[in-house]
Copies of this chain bind each other. A is one copy, B any other.
Amino acid sequence: MLEFAILGLLQEAPMHGYELRKELTAKLGAIRAAISYGSLYPTLRRLQAAGWITEAAETPATAEEVPALTSRRGRVVYTITAEGKERFAQLIAQAGPETYDDTGFGVHFAFFARTDQATRLRILEGRRRKIEERREGLRDVLGRAAERLDAYTLELQRHGLDACEREVRWLEELIANERSGRAPTVPQPGTAGGRRDNDSPPPPGESRKERP
């Protein structure tokens, strides 16, 4: 999962570890708390060993002046390679059942702008099925086994069930939207129409400007 996210992020721009973590946290804030360095650095090492990324000690801009002295432990900037981009594409194409658990789905969804429409649809539907199954499981427990459970546990299940139903509805809207052609944004029930037109449709491929 981390591998996927890193490969995805580095396609926007080369970065060093700290920055990578911050971007990751911003992009996946809805999904998971914050990536630990205890995962990040080993993974970077792994990716580099595999040839998906390259590591380069930072050159001080116009270089040469201020040579050593305090030997400046420079930041290490990581850049994705051509093989890395290939790998990322391959990871998207595979998109198996692991992709449908909470974290896996979230991470993949966060990179939907780099995912083709057919795969987006496949992932959304896989996720929906998975959540529907969880929902059924919860309904069963709340129905059949209710008297075996204490009130707190039941309340927990109810809350979980509610979240499932809500997510299924969300996914339905996203799927409908996806099928109808464009725009990821779910129409907000409160806002009538709202201005929308020249903004959203991001047909696959590259998404954001590179260097400011």
CA distance A82 to B106 in the complex (A): 43
* Nearest CB on B from A62, distance (A): 28
Residue of B nearest to A212 (CB): B148
Name the contact of A183 in the complex, choosing from B26, B151, B184, B207 (C-beta under 8 A).
B151
Residue of B nearest to A188 (CB): B158
Question: For A208, what are the chain B residues with a Cβ–Cβ distance below 8 Å?
Answer: 148, 150
A150 in contact with B30 given A184-B155, A186-B155 (CB within 8 Å)? no
* A72 contacts B by Cβ under 8 Å: no
CA distance A30 to B135 in the complex (A): 9
* A57 contacts B by Cβ under 8 Å: no
Q: Is the CB of B185 within 8 A of A151?
A: yes
Q: Is the CB of B110 within 8 A of A207?
A: no
A30 in contact with B110 given A185-B151, A200-B151 (CB within 8 Å)? no
* A202 contacts B by Cβ under 8 Å: yes
Q: Is the CB of A30 within 8 A of B101?
A: no
Of residues 85 through 123 on chain A, the ones whose CB sits less than 8 Å from some CB of chain B are 101, 106, 109-113
Question: For A29, what are the chain B residues with a Cβ–Cβ distance below 8 Å?
Answer: 134, 137-138, 141, 157, 160
Question: For A202, what are the chain B residues with a Cβ–Cβ distance below 8 Å?
Answer: 150-151
* A159 contacts B by Cβ under 8 Å: yes
* A156 contacts B by Cβ under 8 Å: yes
* Nearest CB on B from A31, distance (A): 7
Question: For A186, what are the chain B residues with a Cβ–Cβ distance below 8 Å?
Answer: 155, 158
CA distance A137 to B31 in the complex (A): 12
* A170 contacts B by Cβ under 8 Å: yes
Could you list 13 further interchain pairs (A-B, Cβ under 8 angstroms) beyond the known A27-B153, A30-B157? A26-B141, A29-B160, A31-B156, A110-B156, A112-B150, A113-B151, A151-B183, A151-B185, A151-B202, A154-B185, A155-B185, A159-B170, A166-B166
